[in-house]
Amino acid sequence: AQSVTQPDIHITVSEGASLELRCNYSYGATPYLFWYVQSPGQGLQLLLKYFSGDTLVQGIKGFEAEFKRSQSSFNLRKPSVHWSDAAEYFCAVGAGNTGGFKTIFGAGTRLFVKA
């Protein structure tokens, strides 16, 4: 079974600074990897996903993530953070075949942005 770990419960960055949120997964093969964002009182919105191909994937809102097989990581990055990026970010791992495909979510990292 797959699992996912987000080591940082919360992170604070200054507006305009760069951001990296960490995600480590455990799975025997290459899983489907996702990053979602959740603003207060809202559901989760998909930022980006990876399964194969280029290990650097681009998402919405200027986010990107890099898959590193050797480190079992899929870290989320943004070069310049905006105040509106303050939210909770969830890394997720999906695996299984069509009928039994299951997605497991990490515990989340809350991002605070200071002026």
How many Cβ atoms are within 10 Å of 1's Cβ, its own excluded?
Answer: 10
Applying CB under 8 A, among 16, 102, 112, 114 the residue interacting with other proteins is 102
The angle at the Cα of 10, spanning 5 to 15, to the nearest 5 degrees, equals: 125
Residue 83 in the binding site for other proteins (CB under 8 A): no
Applying CB under 8 A, among 28, 41, 54, 69 the residue interacting with other proteins is 41
Q: Which is nearer to other proteins, 70 or 98 (CB)?
A: 98
Residue 53 in the binding site for other proteins (CB under 8 A): no
| Rounded CA separation 89/21 (Å) | 8
Residue 28 in the binding site for other proteins (CB under 8 A): no
The angle at the Cα of 36, spanning 6 to 86, to the nearest 5 degrees, equals: 80
Q: By the 8 A CB rule, do 21 and 78 touch?
A: no
CA-CA distances (angstroms) from residue 102 to 7, 48, 63, 94? 22, 17, 24, 5
Residue 27 in the binding site for other proteins (CB under 8 A): no
Residue 99 in the binding site for other proteins (CB under 8 A): yes
Residue 64 in the binding site for other proteins (CB under 8 A): no
Instruction: Give the footprint of other proteins on this chain (CB under 8 A).
Output: 32, 34, 36, 41-46, 49, 51, 90, 92, 94, 98-108
